[in-house]
Structure formats: C-alpha cells, structure tokens
Amino acid sequence: MTEILYQGHGSFRLILGTGEVIYIDPFAGEGYDLPADLILVTHQHHDHNNIDIMPHSDKCVIYQNFDAISQDGYNSFDFAGTHIESVQAYNKNHDINQCVGYVITIDGKTLYFAGDTSKTEYMKELAKRDIEYAFLPTDGIYNMDIPEAIECAEIIKAKHTVPVHMSPGRLFDRKRAEKFTASSALIMEPGETLKF
C-alpha cells in the first residue's frame, strides 16, 4: 500500500509499500520526520526545494529539475519499483528550461504532480495516461488561477484532481479550494493522506 501525505502548499510525502520514503517539493508543514530515500524537486524557488528539512537515509537520492531535463529532453528513471517521469511545467513566472512536473507510476496507479505551471501542451498527453490523482496549483499569482486549473483538470481527465499551492505564504486556503469545482475535484487539507 502506498500512502500520500499532503503537507500543504506544494509539498508531499509518499511512503511506498516497500517502505521507501519520497518527498516532493519539500518546503513547510508537518511530516518531515521520516528519512528521505528520494527527494524530487520541480524547480529552484525557495518554496519547493527545502531539501534539508528532513533527515536523509544513507542511500538518499536528490533529483532536481536540472537532473530532470537534458539535451535529449525530459528524463525518467525507476526507483524501488516506481517509475518517475519528468514532464513540462512553465508559465510567465517559470522558465520551461528550469521547471518540471513529475508523473509517477506506483503499483499500477499513475499520479501527476504538476509543480508550478499553467496549462501546458503535454496535458493533452496526460489525458491518455489514465491518471489516478492529479495535483494542480491554483494560486493565480505565480501559476494558473482557479478557472484555468479547472480547464486543465478537464483536459487531463484524472479520476481525482487535488487543488494545491493556493495562496503564497499559506499552507492551505479552504475558500480557494472550494472554488475549484472541476468534476474530478478532491480537496485535501494539510495532514490528510491518500492510500492505495
């Protein structure tokens, strides 16, 4: 069984069924007590790359945006039975050459962690991927706003779409979350988990 903990803002902790711990865009919130086996960073803004907030295991791998993009395009790799692909992320505040999202396949379930982005061309491809959970930013300042996030959710067609990264300086904003009315909307508060 895999557990996904939403730590708030754009930060997540995954515990794999095999016991490995993956952090995605560590920043703030709770749940940094377990040693990291893998840390994924979508880009270098301070609210996504606090890679020293948690302890690291002896075998910890830190995989950042500059590892994820090469001259050949977007890179992918396997970790503890999990397949991790880097994908497009960009907007006027986030350079396409310096930012990524991650598509992670675990136990036959595919998850999309968008990072900081607005609508991308690749989202049409995600619609073909049978995404179980998509996590989309919604702040409307540095990323797409809620109407655009709803549009993206309809393009991606994930079974469940979770609004995140709602208000700069805050882990969560319930009023904004409730405005995310995509047909697949699933609201998670910091500290809540998904298991599959």
Question: pLDDT tens, 92-117?
Answer: 999 999 999 999 999 999 999 999 99
**Average pLDDT across the chain, whole number:** 97
CATH of domain 3-190: 3.60.15.10
pTM score over 0.75: yes
Q: What is the DSSP string of 53-117?
A: SS-EEEEEEEE-HHHHEETTEE-EEEETTEEEEEEE--BTTB-TTT-EEEEEEETTEEEEE--S-
Per-residue pLDDT band at 171 (split at 50, 70, 90): very high
pLDDT in tens, 38-85: 999 999 999 999 999 999 999 999 999 999 999 999 999 999 999 999
Number of alpha helices (DSSP H) and beta strands (DSSP E) in the chain: 4, 14
Per-residue pLDDT band at 154 (split at 50, 70, 90): very high
pLDDT greater than 90 at residue 169: no
The domain ranges of the chain are: 3-190
